Amino acid sequence: MKNLFQLKNKKTGARSSLLLLLIFLAILLPVANTFASHKIKVMALFTDKAMVMIDGKQKLLKKGKAYHGVTLISADSESVVLEMHGEKKKFKLGSEITTSFKKPDPGKELVVWKDMTNMFRIHGSINNFSTHFLIDTGATSVALSSQAAKRIGLKYRQGTPIQASTASGIAKGYRLTLNKVKIGHIQIYNVQAIVLDGSFPTEVLLGQSFLSRIHMVRDGDKMKFRKKF
């Protein structure tokens, strides 16, 4: 009887230990899945450029250019300043860095408030180049002037030539596809855009080629955006 009791007790203890382990993993795994890390090594330095190894891939970063959430802020022959998921740090040649960051929640809402001109504006990026957007639900696509396109390095003349109607009449333009457009934590790939020759529009318009691919709700003086799953 004693041996039988000991055997049952051991089985009960094993089940309890297994149950505790499963509970622990159930708690731990969702937390672990919200974080990621990068391994970075500074390979070579130039003026406003740096050759870096990011997660085993060698990449030449230029000033203002980002790759996998790593942006080059400045560089010279001695050091480089990198912004990694919102945090800026200075590194010397040969530095090896392991950085962890919280993954963006695709279900999280992005809220944009109406400004003093009664318009909705937000900071974002096109192909990893920083820019400001005027949210225009009446625009069929992302639209920008050739001046703005040159500033962010778009080779827009490789796009399809078009004629577009503007407030000043018919304007020459180009239709092209942007690799990536991002606002807040929301980023959309392969976004259609139009570039018009000259200085019009005076702001970069965030139109329906981007807006139609996310959830958007107008709520009084604010707009709420959420990425579609």
pLDDT tens by residue, 174-189: 999 999 999 998 999 9
What is d(CA 153, CA 55) in angstroms, rounded to the nearest whole number? 26
Q: Which amino acid is at 86?
A: G
Strand partners, 163: 172
CATH architecture under which domain 110-227 falls: Beta Barrel (2.40)
* pLDDT tops 60 at residue 9: no
Measured CA to CA in angstroms, residue 149 lies from 16, 217, 220 at distances of 63, 29, 32
Given this chain, do its domains 36-102 and 110-227 carry the same CATH topology?
no
Predicted pLDDT of residue 7:
44
Domain ranges of the chain: 36-102, 110-227
Pick the CATH number of 36-102 from 2.30.30, 2.40.30, 3.20.20, 2.30.29: 2.30.30
Give the confidence band of 13 by pLDDT, cuts at 50, 70, 90: low
How crowded is the C-beta side of 189, counted as CA atoms within 13 Å? 0
What does the pLDDT look like over 58-88, one tens digit per residue? 889 888 777 767 888 889 989 999 877 667 7
pLDDT (0 to 100) of residue 169:
77
- Is the pTM higher than 0.75? The answer reads no
